[in-house]
Amino acid sequence: RLEESKKVILEEPSSSAKKIKINQGSNFRDQRVKISGWVHRLRSQKDLTFIVLRDGTGYLQVVLSGKLTTTYDALTLTTESTVEIQGQLKAVPEGKTAPGGHELVADYWKCLGKAPGGDEAYTNVVAETADPNSLADRRHLVIRGETASAVLKVRAEVLKAFRAEFDSIGVTEVTPPCMVQTQVEGGSTLFSFDYYGQPAYLTQSSQLYLETCLPSLGDVFCVQESFRAEKSHTRRHLSEYTHLEAELAFISFDDLLAHLEQLICGTLSRVLEDPRAKALLDQLNPNFQMPSRPFRRMDYKEAIQWLNDHDIPNEDGQPHKIGDDIAEAAERKMTDDLNVPIFLCGFPREIKSFYMKRTEGDEGFTDSVDVLMPGVGEIVGGSMRMADQHELLEAYKAEGIDAAPYFWYTDQRKYGTCEHGGYGLGVERFLAWLTNRWTVREASLYPRWTGRCTP
Ligand code: 4AD
């Protein structure tokens, strides 16, 4: 049969076919179209071949019949091969379902690139692989899968929605540099490199640059990669992550919290209002519920008390005491138990960064906030910033930071200071929460973590 099939040649019909993408299908019912894509699924019975075609915009059922199923390519077709199909888009008969409610009844097709079968077949190298390390090596193939690609699509929708939300409240996007010579979040997680003979780092946060934009652009945000040489090997730490940061001028701490609540809920509403994004979310996290407002506000000291009341020890196995950092495990337990978004406020200055504004009347603490979400824990870190120049100079000293390379940051307090604050939101953490993923690695296109910088 294979030998014979080599003699079967298909003639391309002369009637014209409109070249479209799968997601445009509903506008082309009962018309001749030409669609190219990858063979996502494949099933043959007698003289019918059913293909689920994938082109990145969606999935489409294709039916090959008669002579179309007798060519050499038809008999040797494999999943992940690329094909071009021409034919009529027909609504599926009542009682049957197919993506988009229609199928492409082919009158001509050709194979553009055959994928391997046998040991190297997609299903063997990806779908039936359980080892996380092998899957990480094959991330470039894994992202073709229905779940992995859905997460990446939600990611795109979420970034679009964040940008729309910022636009609607008058916050301007800027693009700060990735190569820097100053630290923001402590020296221990800096990636350093040689910059024309000078020491330089990959940015940990664009915050300081955003602060310099306030006098020229007003409130600003950025979506920029941040880099952390993390000592924490957890399911929520990456070495490179997408950092959504914003900085707002002439605000109070309460304004900052109100803004954060609006940004998160406004963005989520936009995602849920988009039918395609909503369908993806229903696929990934059918139990997702819009958080109710106002978010629960909890003081750091109250959290320490809560942890002790619930016998959750600190990292040394001891009861928590004021001044302790709240470790990931404890934070997760508390957030999962309370099961609502939390504004955790007022951290002690010793465990927070040098730039944070001290709480008036309680100088050992800061006007700072972490937003905690069930299932993930911290997704946002933010604070009010020190507005006073001398206080900032003292803070550099206390932290052992040389003030000289920060001259441009200090200048913000010299040339017209203002009360201001901002935050950074980890996009992969936000997505892990929204799409109910076990790890932030699933929310990154090509995740980097300790020891992994490929593919
Ligand atoms: O709390 P962080 O370190 O705060 C800052 O960098 C501030 N300078 C931001 C600002 O105020 N503009 O990081 C902010 C957020 C965290 O809440 C977390 O969501 C995310 O960035 N994040 C990470 N995400 C993935 N992997 C890591 N290693 C992360 N480190 C921080």
Report the CATH number that the domain containing residue 33 is assigned in CATH: 2.40.50.140
The total of other beta-carbon atoms located within 10 Å of residue 122's CB is: 22
| CA-based nearest residue to 370, from 429, 417, 420 | 429
Last residue of a domain, one of 90, 120, 150: 120
- Asked if residue 186 and residue 63 are part of one domain, the reply reads no
Alpha-carbon distance of 132 to 439, in angstroms, equals 12
- Answer yes or no: do 35 and 149 share one domain: no
Q: Which residue, among 345, 340, 342, 334, has the nearest Cα to 291 in the 3D structure?
A: 340
Nearest to 281 by CA among 273, 269, 292, 272: 272
Domain boundary, last residue among 93, 120, 147 = 120
Mutate to test the pocket of ligand 1, among 162, 201, 205, 245 (most ligand atoms within 8 A of CB): 205
User: Do 192 and 112 share a structural domain?
Assistant: no
Spatial contact of 214 and 220, defined as CB atoms under 8 Å apart: yes
Q: Are 203 and 309 in contact (CB under 8 A)?
A: no
Q: Considering only CA atoms, which residue is closest to atom 24 of ligand 1? A: 426
Q: Using CA of residue 435, residue 439, residue 440, residue 445, what is the dihedral sign?
A: negative
pLDDT at 186 (0 to 100)? 87
My answer on whether 373 and 406 are in the same domain is: yes
- For residues 182 and 409, give the distance between their C-alpha atoms in angstroms, rounded to a whole number: 10
**pLDDT of amino acid 130:** 85
Gyration radius (Cα) of the chain, Å:
27
Classify residue 132: in a domain, yes or no: no
Q: Which atom of ligand 1 is nearest to the CA of 355?
A: 8
133 belongs to a structural domain:
no
- What's 433's domain CATH number? 3.30.930.10
Q: How far is the CA of 208 from the centre of ligand 1 (A)?
A: 14
Nearest residue (CA) to ligand 1, atom 7: 424
Q: Is 283 among the domain residues?
A: yes
The answer to whether 383 and 367 are in contact (CB under 8 A) is yes
Check whether residue 60 and residue 150 sit in a common domain: no
> Is residue 347 domain-resident?
yes
Same-domain check for residues 416 and 325? yes
Q: Which atom of ligand 1 is the closest one to the Cα of 378?
A: 17
Of 195, 161, 170, 167, the closest CA to residue 180 belongs to: 195
Q: Is 428 in the pocket of ligand 1 (CB under 6 A)?
A: yes
* Best CA proximity match to 53, nearest among 14, 31, 25: 25
Cβ atoms of 50 and 61 closer than 8 Å:
yes
First to last CA, the chain: 41
Residue 68: inside a domain, yes or no? yes
Quote the Cα angle for 24-28-33, to 5°.
90
* 182/301 same-domain check: yes
Q: Which candidate, 365, 410, 361, places its Cα nearest to that of 384?
A: 365
CB 422 less than 6 A from any atom of ligand 1 = yes
Among residues 246, 178, 185, the alpha carbon closest in space to that of 214 is found at: 246
Query: What is the 3 state secondary structure string of 250-313?
Result: CCCHHHHHHHHHHHHHHHHHHHHHCHHHHHHHHHHCCCCCCCCCCCEEEEHHHHHHHHHHCCCC
Residue (of 70, 77, 58, 48) closest to 20 by Cα position: 58
Cβ–ligand 1 distance for 444 under 6 Å, the answer: no
Bridge partners (DSSP) listed for residue 356: 385
Residue partners of 390: CB distance under 8 A and separation at least 6: none
Tokens of 118: 């046998």
Give the distance (Å) from ligand 1 centre to CA of residue 105.
Answer: 51
The pLDDT of residue 71:
96
The answer to whether residue 130 is domain-embedded is no
Output the pLDDT for position 34: 98
Give me the domain span that covers residue 67: 2-120
Residue 452 is assigned to a structural domain of this protein: no
CA separation for the pair 272, 64 (Å, rounded): 37
> Do 256 and 196 fall within a single domain?
yes
For residue 186, the CA-to-ligand 1 centroid distance in Å is 12
Could you give the number of structural domains in the chain? 2
Which pLDDT score is estimated for 231? 82
**Closest C-alpha residue for ligand 1 atom 22:** 426
In a domain, 333, yes or no: yes
Out of 88, 120, 152, a domain closes at 120
Q: What residues have CB less than 8 Å from 213, skipping those under 6 apart?
A: 172, 174, 220, 247
Model ipTM value: 0.99
Q: Are residues 143 and 35 in the same domain?
A: no
Q: Are residues 213 and 71 in the same domain?
A: no
Same domain, 149 and 113: no
Cα 351 to Cα 368: distance, rounded to the nearest angstrom? 11
pLDDT per residue, tens digit, the chain (455 aa), is: 889 999 999 999 999 999 999 999 999 999 999 999 999 999 999 889 999 999 999 999 999 999 999 999 999 999 999 999 999 999 998 999 999 999 999 999 999 999 999 999 999 999 888 899 999 999 999 999 999 999 999 999 999 999 999 999 999 999 999 999 999 998 899 999 999 999 999 999 999 999 999 999 999 999 999 999 998 889 999 999 999 999 999 999 999 999 999 999 999 999 999 999 999 999 999 999 999 999 999 999 999 999 999 999 999 999 999 999 999 999 999 999 999 999 999 999 999 999 999 999 999 999 999 999 999 999 999 999 999 999 999 999 999 999 999 999 999 999 999 999 999 999 999 999 999 999 999 999 999 999 999 99
Same domain for 370 and 329: yes
